[in-house]
Amino acid sequence: MASTKEMTNDGFSADKIDEHVWLGDLDSSSNHCVLDQLNITHILTVLDFEPSIPRDDHRIRKFIHAEDLDEHNLLEEFDSAYEFINDAVSQQKNVLIHCHAGMSRSATIACAYLMKKYHLTFKDAMERLRSKRNCVYPNMGFERQLRSYEAQYLKPSNEKSLSIEYKCKLCRQVLFTDVDLVQHLIGKGRFDSQAKSSAYKAKQNAERKEEIVCEQELFTNQPEWLTDIFDRDTNNGEIDCPNSKCQSKVGRYSLIGEKCTCAKWVNPAFHFHWSKVDACRQEKNSEIERILHQRTSLVARSDE
């Protein structure tokens, strides 16, 4: 069967990745002859600059400002991009998603679209995407954001409750669950100068060839209760327990990222301290937990 390019124009540098949806580069967005031929009425641009638009342009457009950098936060754009694409598709309209090369930024948006539409894992969505456009390759920061998106949308429907809750060690307030964890592979290279035995750990990691998931630190997606606290000047700060009677320092956040003790850069970083939290089976010993929580609240009131 002929490819989309063969059926239309050898110079068209986009690929059809789903019904009504194409993924391409900057050149494809300006190939108006083929865009008209394919009846592409919507264009979603993901670039660090807004390209010029012809004066007689009749297409519906959405622009997302994004740089192809690991630390750029594209995750916050996934839902609005999905709505733009889905609105067009639901009306049987055709959409082109593009960035500069159609490999990283726009591919990340396309992958998130497939994940949400078909309830796919990151791995399955990426395999599906690459079967249509084999050059797609999101940078590592975007890949981490897609994996976070997977955790958000792929909670098992047959699971009545989550298996692990992470609680404030002082007051027993639930901070997050195992679904909220952000995992990363152990890094290689130098460690923070303050990390214990950093030189020895760095040597071990540099010699390690297989890929192993890091279990040294606790990083999560942004907890729902952690809102409107960001220091806009520094984009980092302390994370306090949300229990107003406790407010123990349970971790740190950094919107520009933080290096794990394994030497891997995590971005954005919501980092909880193992010494400040307990991992507990959900709903286990609930009566004991209730008494402990009540006792902590009484102690807090007596200190006021």
| 127-131, 172-176, 194-198, range with the lowest pLDDT | 194-198
Active site residue 99: yes
Residues of the chain with CATH 3.90.190.10: 4-153
- The whole-angstrom separation of Cα 120 and Cα 118 is 5
In 3D space, the residue among 229, 171, 180, 278 whose CA is nearest the CA of residue 238 turns out to be: 229
**Residue 191: pLDDT over 50:** no
Taking 90 as the threshold, does the pLDDT of residue 26 lie above it?
yes
**Mean per-residue pLDDT over the chain, rounded:** 81
Assess whether pLDDT exceeds 70 at residue 188. Answer: no
Q: For the whole model, what pTM was predicted?
A: 0.54
Q: CB burial class (10 A; 0-12, 13-18, 19+) of residue 174?
A: middle
Considering only CA atoms, which of 166, 211, 170 is closest in space to residue 188? 211
- The fraction of the chain above a pLDDT of 90, given in percent, is 48
Question: Cβ distance 93 to 42 under 8 Å?
Answer: yes
Greater model confidence, 195 or 184:
184
pLDDT band with cut points at 50, 70 and 90 for residue 244: confident
Q: Which of 99, 168, 171, 260 is an active site residue? A: 99
CATH number of 4-153: 3.90.190.10
Percent of the chain whose predicted confidence (pLDDT) is above 70: 76
